[in-house]
Structures are given as C-alpha cells and as structure tokens.
C-alpha cells in the first residue's frame, strides 16, 4: 500500500517521500494559525470566523451543504486548471506567469464557438467537444508563443508570458468584446452574446449548478500525471526541470531536443489553463462579459506552489483554495472582510516558500539531533 | 538548549490557546432584528468605490437603515444630524426618513460569486428584498428570481436576463434604469460655459449603455451651448484602474482640454488626481455621486458632478417593500422625479449668474419635455439642439 501510494502520489523514490506531503500540510496549518491571530488582533472571534468559513466552504456536511459543495467544486476546477498550467511548465523548468492570459483566451474562444452561427446549431455531443478542442488549440498556441520565444530567441518566459497576458487582455476586452464580438444593441446585453444551449456544460447535481468541469479536469490531471511519470516525453521534460540551473546541458547532451520540448511544454500548459476559462464561460457565465477581472490565473500560481507542482498536489490545493473562496463570502455575515481567505492563501504560499526551513525543523523533530540533518535530506555531500 | 526550545514551544501553544479561548465565551448578543431584512449584493467594485456601489449602500444603510458601516465590519447607529447631512441638496424635498430595516450586505470578489451570494441572502438570511447593484448582476438576478419566486429582487442599471441572455420580466423583479443622458446634458452645458480653451475632454470606462448615455448627453449639452467646442474623448476599457484614468487625463490636458468629465468609476479617480496636481485653470466633473464633497478626490477643482441617484432609487425600492407597494417591471429614474441631476459644487465660481440661469432654464425645459436628449453618441450629430433658452 505504502509503495503504491508513494508512487502514485509523487512518483519519487525518496526515503522521506512523505515529507513532500507533510510540508504543505504544516504550511497550511501555520497559515490558519497566523490567520487566527490576525482576526483576533482586529477584535473579532477566530472561532466564529473559521466556523463560518468552513461551514460554507463545502468541505464538511452541514446546512446548505449541497450548494456550497457544488460551488466549491466549480471554483476548484478552475483553480486546478490554472494551477496545472503553472505546474506543468514548472516541471519543465519554466516559470509560467501566463495562466491568466491562457485563461481568458480559453474563455473568449469558448464564448465565440459557443454562440457563432455555424457551430451553435450543432447537437450537444458534437458541439461541446468541438469547443473543448478549439479552446485547447487556442490556449495551447497562446502558450506556445512564449515557448517559441524562449526556445528560439532566448527571451525569458517570465517576461513574455506577462506581456502576453496584457496583449490577450486588451485584444479581448478593448477590441473583441466591444467590437466584432459585441452582442447586438437591441438585446440589451453587455459583452458577447450568450452561448447556445448545446454549448453549456451538462449539470450533474441539480438543482445546483455543478457541472462536468470537475470531471473533465480530474481526467486531465490524470493524463498529465501519466504523461509525466509514465512516458518518455514526460521524463524528458522533468529532466529539463531538474537541470535548469545548469542551462539544461545534461538533457541536451543526452540527446533531448530541449527547444522543441520547451515549446511543447508551454503548449500543454497553455491548453490546460485555457480549459479553466472555458469552464467559466460554458458553466458559469454563459457569455464573455465586458469586464472579466478573473484573477484565476494568478491564484493558479499559489495553487501550484501549495501543491508542490505535482498533479495530485495541485488537485488537493485547488480544492482547498476553492473551498476557501466559496466560504469567503459567507464570513462577511460575521462582518469579516471578504478578502480574509486571501490572507490565509497568501500565508500558505509564504510558508511554502519557507519549505526548506520547515523541512529542516520537521526532520530534526523526526530524527532527533544526533545525525546531521543535511545528509538525511540528501542535499549535503559527504 | 532543549529546555529553551521547549519553552518557546510552550509559549507558542499558550499564545495560540489564548487567541482561541479568549474569544470563545464571548458569544455576542444579537440585537433585536427589525422585521424587514434587506440584502444587497455588490458587483466586483464593492464597498468603497466612491461611486456606484457606495451610492446604493447609502440608500440602504444610511437612509433606510439609519446606520453607518464601521470600517472592517459591523454597523453602528447614526445621529439625526449625520442623517440629514447625508441627504444631498436636490433630494432634501423628497422626505427621506429612516425605514427601520436591517441591512445585510455581501460583497462579491468574483463574477462567480453573484449567484451564491444571492442564494445566501435568500436561503440563510431570509431577506425580504435582495438588491443587485449594477448591470453585471443582470443574469444572476434573473436566474435567482425564477428560482426564488417568493423573494423580491431589485436590479440597478439593467433589466434582468435569463440563462440565454433574453430579457425577462418576472413578477418579483423591479429594475431601475436612469436617464444618464439628462444629467450628462446639464454637465455638458456647464462645461461649455466653463471652458476657456474651447476644448473639453471626456473619459469613459467601457462603452456600456449607461456610459454611452452619459456621453451622448454630454456631447449634446456642449453642442447646445457652443457647437464649435472641440471634444477629445476616450474609453479606458476599465472601471477600476485610476492609473489609466490619469494617463487619459494627462493626454487630454496636453491636447489643450481644460474641463474634463469622466464616466469611468474608480478609473476616474486618476483624472481628479491629475487635475489636482495642476490646479487652476483645470476643472474636473464627477459622475454618479457628488464628487465635490469627497475630500479624497479633488473638491477644490470639481466643477460639478452629474448625479445619478442610485441611493434614492435603492431607498424607493426599499420603501415600496416596507409600504407593501411593490411593483415589478422597469422603472426609469428621470430628471423630473429627482433620479438624476447635477451638483452645485463650484458652478457659481466658474459661471456667471446669467449662464447659471440658462443652465437652470434648460433643466426646466427638459423637465417640461420641451426637447429630448439623444441616448446614443452617434445620434448627437443629427440632433437639433434647442435654441431659445
């Protein structure tokens, strides 16, 4: 059992593989403790706040659980998508800030294919897969642009992905949504027209609006895991990630086409993040609104960091963040600002950034102080 | 060494313990809740946007509930003097008084939050009326109204729509629209008299119907007073980014504009920042609420503000619930019934009495229906302005 779990979970054959699970958990716990102190400082009750937060998060059964649960999974599917977008690139040694851009490119593509005439009349079982394929291509190409610039021109992906985010935003919000894709004035709708019935993601838990997005993203997560840990392709990408600091000389020497792999990695990252935008448009908004202001792309970075860039970790972190966000609006009933859960998220990321320190402490706790911790962690050379 | 560590650990545990224990028994006593409960869902702009959402919150919290929001959360009652001070000049005669309702406000962090927020207010808080602030909630209010037929809804700035985006008219929703072109016309007229360079600027957020009505009215007002005035207009594409508003204002000023009007929400705060840095002779015109009263903007150089009384509309909708005179449908707030107007701010400093009288005369003509102002900016070109005022 242990062996199976360990391999499925991280695919790593480290001695202290469970450290990779424990460190994020401890970080999250610390974040909640610091969050409690913050609430206390502002003169409110952390008990009430956390009770409301988790009561409405959808994680635990309780009143109105069904609707909270469905809202949580709806949010989570989008956070998992953008989190994977970051994590996939990170596996290949790329720091992808572009998930926000991929997300909105996915959203606008889904909206267009959802309402545009030749597609809108198709039956659902053709129309919906067609939209998903379109979204994957659009998001993937948007991601691959940054990959191409990195591979062929050596421009750092942090710069290009940030710039491409803005290009996507203004192409969409300052041109498409108020220009060619604008809904007719008579309809009184701001933004693009609404998508046709056949483009909507089927609901799976009526009367809530939970739809199949969570199933799609779980399947995608499994595919990504399989790709990384069961195929040569994934192995090559991981090799690039591991040797990043040495300019990827080792994979090059081993005959890996690093340039091509970089472009492919960014394509996959962009495609997965774009799915999140499609979920938003096809399952929640049913149109591309004049102002999107999502932020899912940037939260995806937090999700990936908390999830340690591992597919399963991203899923769990995505569910955690989705739950926090779902409970977030309810803490307002206790007169706690809606941004409070973001503070917890921020602290969790902060503690993850300190993970070497936390790891060091935990190791000390576990092993006592007799042996050198450095060697235990496999980091020190003897 | 070990003891020291244990001590530190102990200290941490005790501190965390204190945090939790210290507050556990302090179950706050609920104040006796008034019978009528009004819920409000803001759009993503949220509390503190100094314009649209804050205006609706004034109608609900300050007027209908007679409480004020304590920064960070919670309400406390306000005095009669504070209450009177919160009512703008042009609404003094509307007999606004406390309705004794209790308010429950949920802010939205994300577009996805609208429907769950409404559901929380309806299901958990059992609100009698749920108010959706802004056109972004049109779909959420439309869907929820069908789902909860026993709850009343109010939607500001748009008619409700269903999941396919078709306008619907459920029996439990009232929508409030505003004649922004009428107040835009009046500030346009004021701007035309105030400009010395003969060039004025316009900064829009996004070209959505209410903002387009503002623009059309503004253009028509300028054309009425002086057709030769040059207008430099621009849309920033955002309602939330003051930096964009500032750069737009800088560019318009550098092209010679000396009076600037914005209909861009918080983006327009940047315009006032730019004007404040330069001082005279530049004037800014505020939007939605009386921005000349806002010490955080630029009261010294705020010429006037085009008022859109979202607060009054909110108050009226709540009053209809209290008086049990609720009617569904669309209500259009006009200049005539006090729904829109312009603020006096510095009008008397920039205009002569004769000019002010003319603007007031135009206002009365509009109320009497002598002429109509176009609602779409392209229509202004073919529109014949009134002449005898």
B273 and B189 in one domain?
yes
The pTM score is: 0.84
pLDDT at A12 over 70: no
- Please answer whether residues B310 and B56 qualify as being in contact, where contact means their C-beta atoms are separated by less than 8 angstroms: yes
Please judge whether A286 and B116 are an interchain contact, meaning their C-beta atoms are less than 8 angstroms apart: no
What integer is the mean pLDDT of A62-91? Answer: 93
d(CA A288, CA A283): 12
Please judge whether A286 and B139 are an interchain contact, meaning their C-beta atoms are less than 8 angstroms apart: yes
Residue A118 domain-assigned (yes or no): yes
Nearest CA in chain A to B147: A207
Residue B262: beta bridge partners? B203
pLDDT at B19 over 60: no
Which of B194-215 are b and which e, b meaning 16 or more Cβ less than 10 Å from the residue's Cβ? bbeeebbbbbbbbbbbbbbbbb
Give which of A329, A291, A324 is closest to B40, Cα–Cα: A329
Between helix A296-306 and helix A258-280 the angle, nearest 10°, is 120
- Please answer whether residues A270 and A98 qualify as being in contact, where contact means their C-beta atoms are separated by less than 8 angstroms: yes
Nearest CA in chain B to A190: B208
Query: Both tokens of residue A91?
Result: 């596996």
Q: How far is A198 from chain B (nearest CA, A)?
A: 11
Range of the domain at A108: 82-317
B112 touches chain A (CB under 8 A): yes
CA distances from B314 to A59, A138, A187, B52, B129 (A): 36, 43, 25, 11, 11
- Please answer whether residues B128 and B36 qualify as being in contact, where contact means their C-beta atoms are separated by less than 8 angstroms: yes
Please judge whether B165 and A46 are an interchain contact, meaning their C-beta atoms are less than 8 angstroms apart: no
Q: How many CB atoms lie within 10 A of CB A124?
A: 14
CATH number where B85 lies: 3.40.50.2300
Residue A204 domain-assigned (yes or no): yes
B270 and B144 in one domain?
no
Residue A367 domain-assigned (yes or no): no
A-B C-beta contacts closer than 8 Å: 132
d(CA A365, CA A359): 10
For A127-141, write each residue's pLDDT tens digit.
999 999 999 999 999
Give which of B358, B180, B158, B356 is closest to B261, Cα–Cα: B180
For B213-245, write each residue's pLDDT tens digit.
999 999 999 999 999 999 999 988 778 788 999
- Please answer whether residues B33 and B44 qualify as being in contact, where contact means their C-beta atoms are separated by less than 8 angstroms: no
ipTM beyond cut 0.85? no
Nearest CA in chain A to B138: A189
Band the pLDDT of A214: cuts 50, 70, 90. Answer: very high
What integer is the mean pLDDT of A97-123? Answer: 93
Is the link from the previous residue into A207 a cis peptide, with omega within 30 of 0?
A: yes
B262 and B194 in one domain?
yes
Determine how β-strand B199-204 pairs with β-strand B173-178: unpaired
For B129-152, write each residue's pLDDT tens digit.
999 998 889 999 999 999 999 999
Residue A360 domain-assigned (yes or no): no
Collect all residues with Cβ–Cβ distance below 8 Å to A112 and sequence separation of at least 6. A181, A192
Range of the domain at B226: 185-307+346-380
Q: Which residues of A touch B47 (CB under 8 A)?
A: none
Residue B345: phi and psi, rounded to 5, are 25, -110
Task: Give the best residue of B73, B266, B374, B375 to mutate against chain A (max A CB count within 10 A).
Answer: B73
B3 touches chain A (CB under 8 A): no
B135 and B260 in one domain?
no
Task: Give the best residue of B109, B127, B148, B155 to mutate against chain A (max A CB count within 10 A).
Answer: B109
For B68-125, write each residue's pLDDT tens digit.
888 767 788 989 988 988 888 778 888 888 998 999 999 988 888 999 999 999 998 8
d(CA A172, CA A192): 11
Residue B48 domain-assigned (yes or no): yes
B330 touches chain A (CB under 8 A): no
d(CA B298, CA A16): 61
What integer is the mean pLDDT of A286-294? Answer: 83
Residue B330 domain-assigned (yes or no): no
Q: Which of B132, B152, B178 is the last residue of a domain?
A: B178
Q: Which residues of B touch A332 (CB under 8 A)?
A: 73, 105-107
Residue B130: phi and psi, rounded to 5, are -120, 125
Please judge whether B106 and A37 are an interchain contact, meaning their C-beta atoms are less than 8 angstroms apart: no
B132 and B72 in one domain?
yes
pLDDT at A96 over 90: yes
Query: Both tokens of residue B163?
Result: 């999941």
d(CA B232, CA B203): 9
B240 and B357 in one domain?
yes
B199 and B154 in one domain?
no
Identity of the residue in A75, A173, A207 whose CB atom sits nearest the CB atom of B237: A173
Please judge whether B135 and A190 are an interchain contact, meaning their C-beta atoms are less than 8 angstroms apart: yes
B354 and B242 in one domain?
yes
B165 touches chain A (CB under 8 A): yes
d(CA B160, CA A111): 20
B125 and B65 in one domain?
yes
- Please answer whether residues A84 and A148 qualify as being in contact, where contact means their C-beta atoms are separated by less than 8 angstroms: no
Q: How far is B350 from chain A (nearest CA, A)?
A: 36
- Please answer whether residues B304 and B320 qualify as being in contact, where contact means their C-beta atoms are separated by less than 8 angstroms: no
B221 and B143 in one domain?
no
Predicted pLDDT of residue B26: 41
Q: How many CB atoms lie within 10 A of CB A156?
A: 12
Q: Which residues of A touch B74 (CB under 8 A)?
A: 335
Q: How many CB atoms lie within 10 A of CB A25?
A: 11
Residue B298: phi and psi, rounded to 5, are -145, 70
With 0-12 CB in 10 A as exposed, 13-18 as middle and 19+ as buried, what is B108? Answer: buried
Query: Both tokens of residue B371?
Result: 């002429």
B144 and B68 in one domain?
yes
Q: What percent of chain A has pLDDT over 70?
A: 91
From chain B residues 15-44, the ones with a CB under 8 A of any chain A CB are 15-16, 19-20, 22-24, 26, 44
* Number of domain units in chain B: 2
Nearest CA in chain A to B21: A47
Between helix A99-115 and helix A258-280 the angle, nearest 10°, is 60
Identity of the residue in B15, B72, B108 whose CB atom sits nearest the CB atom of A337: B72
B167 and B46 in one domain?
yes
* Number of domain units in chain A: 1
Residue A74 domain-assigned (yes or no): no
Q: Which residues of B touch A289 (CB under 8 A)?
A: 111, 136
Predicted pLDDT of residue A211: 94
Residue A22 domain-assigned (yes or no): no
Q: Which residues of B touch A292 (CB under 8 A)?
A: 111
Q: How far is B136 from chain A (nearest CA, A)?
A: 8
- 3-class state of residue B106 by DSSP: strand
For A316-341, write each residue's pLDDT tens digit.
999 999 999 888 888 888 778 878 88
Predicted pLDDT of residue A358: 86
Nearest CA in chain A to B162: A194
Please judge whether A188 and B209 are an interchain contact, meaning their C-beta atoms are less than 8 angstroms apart: yes
State the sign of the Cα–Cα–Cα–Cα dihedral B362, B367, B369, B374. Answer: positive
Residue B259 domain-assigned (yes or no): yes
């Amino acid at each position: 059992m242990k062996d199976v779990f360990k391999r499925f979970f991280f695919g790593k054959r480290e001695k202290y593989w469970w450290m990779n699970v424990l460190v994020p958990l401890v970080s999250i716990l610390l974040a909640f403790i610091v969050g409690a102190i913050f609430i206390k400082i502002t003169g409110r009750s952390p008990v009430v706040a956390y009770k409301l937060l988790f009561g409405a998060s959808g994680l635990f059964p309780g009143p109105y659980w069904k609707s909270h649960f469905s809202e949580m999974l709806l949010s989570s599917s989008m956070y998992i998508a953008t989190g994977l977008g970051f994590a996939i690139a990170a596996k290949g040694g790329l720091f992808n800030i572009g998930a926000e851009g991929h997300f909105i490119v996915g959203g606008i593509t889904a909206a267009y294919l959802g309402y545009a005439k030749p597609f809108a009349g198709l039956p659902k079982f053709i129309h919906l897969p067609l939209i998903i394929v379109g979204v994957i291509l659009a998001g993937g190409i948007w991601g691959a642009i940054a990959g191409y610039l990195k591979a062929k021109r050596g421009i750092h992906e942090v710069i290009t992905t940030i710039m491409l985010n803005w290009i996507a935003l203004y192409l969409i919000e300052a041109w498409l949504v108020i220009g060619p894709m604008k809904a007719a004035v008579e309809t009184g709708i701001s933004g693009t027209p609404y998508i046709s019935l056949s483009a909507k993601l089927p609901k799976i838990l009526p009367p809530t609006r939970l739809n199949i997005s969570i199933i799609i993203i779980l399947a995608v997560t499994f595919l990504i895991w399989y790709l990384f840990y069961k195929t040569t392709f994934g192995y090559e990408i991981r090799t690039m990630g591991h040797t990043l600091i040495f300019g990827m000389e080792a994979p090059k020497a081993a005959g890996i086409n690093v340039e091509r792999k970089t472009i492919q990695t960014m394509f996959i990252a962009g495609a997965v993040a774009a799915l999140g935008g499609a979920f938003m448009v096809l399952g929640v908004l049913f149109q591309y609104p004049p102002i999107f202001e999502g932020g899912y792309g940037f939260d995806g970075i937090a999700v990936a960091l908390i999830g340690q860039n591992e597919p399963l970790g991203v899923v769990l972190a995505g569910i955690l963040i989705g739950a926090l966000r779902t409970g977030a609006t309810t803490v307002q009933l206790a007169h706690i600002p809606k941004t409070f859960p973001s503070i917890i998220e921020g602290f969790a990321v902060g503690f993850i950034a300190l993970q070497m320190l936390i790891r060091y402490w935990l190791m000390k706790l576990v092993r006592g102080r007799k042996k050198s911790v450095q060697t235990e962690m496999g980091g020190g050379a003897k | 060494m070990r003891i020291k560590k244990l001590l530190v650990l102990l200290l941490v545990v005790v501190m965390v313990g204190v945090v939790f224990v210290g507050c556990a028994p302090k179950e706050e006593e609920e104040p006796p809740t008034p019978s009528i409960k009004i819920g409000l869902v803001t759009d993503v702009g949220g509390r503190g946007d100094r314009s649209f959402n804050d205006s609706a919150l004034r109608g609900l919290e300050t007027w209908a509930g007679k409480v004020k929001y304590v920064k960070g959360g919670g309400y406390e009652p306000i005095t009669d003097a504070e209450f009177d001070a919160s009512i703008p000049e042009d609404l003094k005669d509307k007999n606004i008084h406390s309705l004794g309702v209790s308010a429950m406000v949920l802010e939205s962090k994300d577009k996805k939050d609208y429907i769950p927020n409404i559901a929380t207010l309806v299901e958990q808080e059992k609100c009698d009326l749920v108010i959706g602030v802004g056109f972004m909630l049109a779909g959420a209010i439309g869907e929820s109204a069908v789902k909860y037929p026993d709850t009343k809804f109010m939607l500001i700035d748009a008619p409700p729509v269903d999941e396919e985006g078709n306008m619907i008219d459920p029996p439990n929703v009232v929508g409030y629209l505003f004649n922004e072109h009428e107040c835009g016309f009046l500030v346009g007229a004021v701007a035309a008299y105030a400009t010395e360079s003969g060039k004025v600027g316009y900064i829009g957020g996004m070209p959505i119907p209410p903002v387009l009505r503002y623009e059309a009215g503004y253009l028509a007002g300028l054309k009425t007073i002086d057709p030769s005035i040059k207008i430099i207009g621009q849309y920033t594409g955002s309602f939330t980014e003051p930096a964009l508003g500032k750069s737009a204002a800088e560019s318009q000023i550098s092209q010679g504009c000396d009076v600037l009007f914005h209909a861009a929400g918080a983006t327009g705060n940047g315009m006032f920042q730019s004007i404040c840095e330069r001082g005279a002779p530049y004037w800014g015109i505020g939007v939605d609420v009386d921005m000349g009263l806002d010490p955080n903007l630029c009261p010294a150089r705020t010429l006037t503000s085009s008022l859109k009384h979202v607060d009054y509309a909110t108050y009226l909708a709540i009053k209809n619930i209290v008086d049990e005179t609720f009617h569904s449908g669309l209500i259009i707030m006009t200049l005539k019934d006090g729904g829109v107007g312009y603020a006096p701010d510095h009008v008397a400093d920039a205009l002569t009495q004769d000019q002010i009288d003319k603007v007031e005369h135009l206002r009365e003509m509009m109320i009497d229906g002598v002429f109509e102002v176009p609602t779409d900016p392209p229509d202004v070109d073919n529109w014949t302005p009134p002449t005898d005022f």
